[in-house]
Structure 1
């Protein structure tokens, strides 16, 4: 098992807010918070950032807190429209605590990739369904899931190599989908569902290198969308690696629109990378 298992950040729940922080991604990520505790949350993460000398703070914020965060030195890097019950947006408000965290490697290439992905037109008329077996995943699949993750990701911001972590997420807010070549799992993805706010993050796409180029990620995404629509989840989004042009194009080709880039944001595949937001709202 990979040595990256022990290199993970901490998820901390405190006073109505949940944060993910540590030296692995060198950041504080406020994943959720109670609007009545916004000032308390802000004071806490600013002090934590100073005490731990982290490089970045990122907050999934509400529109009503935009001015407060702007006055505190934050700027907006991205947005998910309809994040809260299909109506109010989620703003990704950020503050850089280290000057070198602002410097983006290959920024021109990233921006060019975004433009190329935006140009990808939605067209399923010529989509040929891959000749493999697709199904939802359960506890009996965890061992194979970890093997795929270990081969695909050199590092990851959450402990996806830990069977106990995966088992726990299955009982909470995650639904997993996989593609098989006979009995062997060759690719998978995750729906991380926020039932309260009726949104879902389409995430953790992993396809074994020898099976790439067969549109398996697109097929998985189509299956995920259908499952989420049936469960009444109206806002679908992803936070995709900016350096993975095929993944960005996959979302754009299924009608997702660009919601911004989180620069130097996430430890993944061996480096801290910038991440692109793609959003799709299902109007019934």
Structure 2
């Protein structure tokens, strides 16, 4: 699958913005900004208009939230201590009614309510001895791409392409995997922002026939240990709002629910709402 995702740094006279242009998901995302704030907003809207984006996401600092709300942006979620200890707020603007409206919202509310009634687990049961957990290596790129290709019919990034997986690893994304009979059957990664000392746990996938052993919880725990040992203390993750298993894994692992991004990206055969979960180790 082709992603069409481009990260750009736009420098103007009074502002600088770091923006992700995401053609595949028909959205733009402002990841960071500096300088005259109103000019940052205006430049972002110009980029969105130029690519006919249906959704604009602004990762805002606290001091700019009210200004964005005053300009028609909506609050959808937040990440505690994202910017070197300062909170990040996801403010969004929609350019199409269909992109704003979610048909599954009530069902997702019920799933979330059921998950939040589950107890937090303090320990993990060991998986069967046939499963070996370890850090992923560049030589795993082909097997990882095959895993993602099997689990996800459609995915926001081209993880079914081994060259893309290899490129992610070379840029610093860390993978942990479980191997069964010589094949990778479960994997998760951490995309690290070493400047702001945060990381996103993402690309979580387990083959259906191996899901009864709680492998993902072990992978998340291994990633956390790695991140903490490398000075990363703000960890977050997005999970499909309709996925009971993935949201439950994060909740029971001590992550806190911090919002839901509507129609955020294409997974499987449609746009999906994504729940935001956050955990801090400071």
Report the TM-score, using the length of structure 2 for normalisation: 0.92
Q: Is it true that 1:12 corresponds to 2:8 in the alignment?
A: yes
Measured after TM superposition, the shift of residue 74 of structure 1 is 0.8
Greater alpha carbon shift after TM alignment, 130-139 vs 112-121: 112-121
Task: Identify if the C-alpha distance between structure 1 residues 173 and 42 changes in structure 2 by more than 3 Å, giving closer, same or farther.
Answer: farther
Q: CA RMSD in A?
A: 1.7
Deviation at 1:78, TM superposition (A): 0.2
SS of the residue 2:63 aligns to: helix
* TM-superposition CA deviations, 1:161-206 (whole Å, max 9, x none): 2333222221223101100003111011001111111111111101
TM-score by length of 1: 0.91
Runs of 5+ consecutive residues of structure 1 not aligned to the other structure? none
- Aligned position for 2:115: 117
Tell me: higher relative CO, structure 1 or 2? Use CA pairs within 8 A at least 6 residues apart.
1
Work out whether residues 173 and 194 of structure 1, in 8 Å CA contact, stay in contact via their aligned partners in 2.
no
Kept in 2, the 8 Å contact 1:175–1:192? The answer is yes
Map Cα deviations across residues 65-114 of structure 1 (whole Å, 9 max, x no partner). Answer: 212212221121100011122x2101000011111212102111101111
CA distance in 1: counterparts of 2:115 and 2:102, whole angstroms: 20
For 1:194-239, what per-residue CA distance to the aligned partner results, in whole angstroms no more than 9, with x for missing partners?
Answer: 1111111111101111111210111111111111111121111101
Task: Verify: 1:93 aligned to 2:91, yes or no.
Answer: yes
> How many Å separate the matches in 2 of 1:113 and 1:224?
26
Task: Give the deviation of 1:50 after TM superposition.
Answer: 2.8
Q: 1:243 maps to what in 2? A: 242
1:79 aligns with 2:75: no
Question: 1:3-152 residue pairs with structure 2 within 5 A?
Answer: 5-15=1-11, 16-30=16-30, 32-36=31-35, 38-85=37-84, 87-125=85-123, 127-131=124-128, 132-152=131-151
Secondary structure class of the residue paired with 1:65: helix
Q: Does structure 1 conserve the Cα–Cα contact (< 8 Å) formed by 2:238 and 2:275?
A: yes
Per the TM alignment, residue 7 of structure 1 is displaced from its structure 2 partner at its CA by 4.8
Q: State the distance in 1 between where 2:204 and 2:67 align.
A: 35
Give the SS at the match of 1:49.
Answer: helix
Per-residue deviation, 1:51:
3.5
Q: Matches of 1:8 and 1:153 in 2, distance apart?
A: 18
Which residues of 2 match residues 180-191 of structure 1 at below 5 A? 180-191=179-190
> 1:13 Cα deviation (Å)?
3.2
CA contact (8 A) 1:199 1:236 kept: yes
**Equivalent residue pairs, number:** 276
Please list every run of 5 or more consecutive structure 2 residues that lacks an aligned counterpart in the other structure: none
Contact 1:63 1:90 in 2 (8 A): yes
CA drift of 1:120 comes to: 2.1
